[in-house]
Amino acid sequence: MTSKPQTQTVSPGSPAAGATPPADIAALSFEQAMAALEDIVQQLESGRVDLDAAVTAYERGVWLRRHCEARLSEARAKVERIGVTAGGSVETTPLDVG
């Protein structure tokens, strides 16, 4: 007997790959998003959240995590190492933080 593949329905506000984040999250700074994410983690860890609220909080947490990762990537791209060449001129090169 073969089983039918399961399909997953993605709600409009869910953090599906390639989806646009909610405007309120997109407007947050890295620090604000991290604080909001920490609040969600504490809320979920407390265990005092009903199932629907927990799912909604989890989805928001995924958006916040992605937002934080994007802000970190942007910051890494902007960071440069400033150095002086053997000839005495100043140059900048991307900082390798890997």
The domains of the chain are located at 28-75
Which residues of the chain register pLDDT less than 70? 1-18, 80, 95-98
Residue 17: what pLDDT?
A: 62
Q: What is the DSSP letter of 31?
A: H
pTM of the full structure? 0.68
Q: Say how many C-beta atoms besides its own lie within 10 A of residue 49's C-beta.
A: 16
